[in-house]
Amino acid sequence: MTPSLPGARRAAVISLTAGALLAVSALASPAQAATAPSISGKGGFVLNNATGATVYSKTADTRRQMASTTKIMTAAVVLSTKGVDLNRKVTVKQAYRDYVAKQGASTADLRTGDKVTVRQLLYGTMLPSGCDAAYALADTFGTGSTNAARTKSFIAKMNAKATELKLTNTKFDSFDGISQAGNNYTTPRDLAKIAQYAMKNSNFRAVVKATSYKSTAPTSTGGTRTYTWYNTNKLLGSYNGAIGIKTGTGTAAGPCLVFAATRGTKTLVGVVLNGSDRYKDAAKLLDYGFGSSTAKTMKLRSLPADAQSD
């Protein structure tokens, strides 16, 4: 593990540990600023989406809680399911609402008996960070005869995907980031790799770049309900080129943000874990990667009063 080091000294360590080839490529890039920024996050990481090359690193391999950024893997597992039908209808169970109420968790406010599609559940999971929507996905795509068995099966699929991606410092015991045993962890580097993998899917990209989503669903009484969700990720619409990805906040995890932005032909994917100023951190890290200075003047997008926060 590399301890947190200030300013240019940290940048020098990163260059040495990343290997000569990476150091040469970083020096050869005229777009990247010379000095790595200081961030509030206890952990941070940025990679070049196309090459996987490290752009920035701070305690990148230290295991930390990840809160609702867990839902990136939830969505990725669903979307990587062979033959997945995004228009498949799922009936909302009372258990999903009860779970959110018991946990005091962020919610998509799904109503019992409504028939929503898998696509709607993905938006409900990723935009308002709905733990009820994430529960519905885990219950639908897991196997077993009970809710508990199916969600356990789904979490096993999340861990299998982490193994497939060769992530040795990531473990899931939750489908939404609410971890009773605290055994739901990752590192900035691993989480960036999960995000990089998820962003390969066009449906995932469409979901996480949306600032809001409005749709309808049939109710159990034959009526129609309208759902409107707002993305808790305030970087969208605030930082030029931002295209996602997911917020997360927890008592143990602190404020977290997984983010991505594209400028020209270059896309960067990054992570801030336990950062008191996560949006400013993300903007500074993206500026560092793009060789720009827009973080100083960035004004965060406001969310409606009735929007979820995460």
> Active-site residue 29, yes or no?
no
Q: Residues near 218 by Cβ (< 8 Å), separated by ≥ 6?
A: 114, 115, 224, 225
Q: Measuring CA to CA, which residue among 90, 95, 183 is closest to residue 132?
A: 95
Preceding amide of 245 cis, omega within 30 = yes
Given 57, 58, 71, 157, the catalytic residue: 71
CA distances from 253 to 66, 108, 175 (A): 6, 22, 15
> Active-site residue 238, yes or no?
no
Helix/strand/coil for 61: coil
Please tell me the distance from the alpha carbon of residue 13 to that of residue 6, in angstroms, as a whole number. Answer: 11
Given 68, 106, 179, 238, the catalytic residue: 68
Backbone angles phi, psi at 145, to 5 degrees: -95, -5
Helix/strand/coil for 248: strand
Please tell me the distance from the alpha carbon of residue 105 to that of residue 156, in angstroms, as a whole number. Answer: 22
Pairing relationship of beta strands 43-48 and 54-58 according to DSSP bridges: antiparallel
> Active-site residue 71, yes or no?
yes
Given 57, 58, 106, 129, the catalytic residue: 129
Pairing relationship of beta strands 224-230 and 212-218 according to DSSP bridges: antiparallel
Task: For Cα atoms 210, 125, 62, give the angle at the middle one, nearest 5 degrees.
Answer: 95
- Two structure tokens written together for 56: 């920035």
**Which residues are marked as active site?**
68, 71, 129
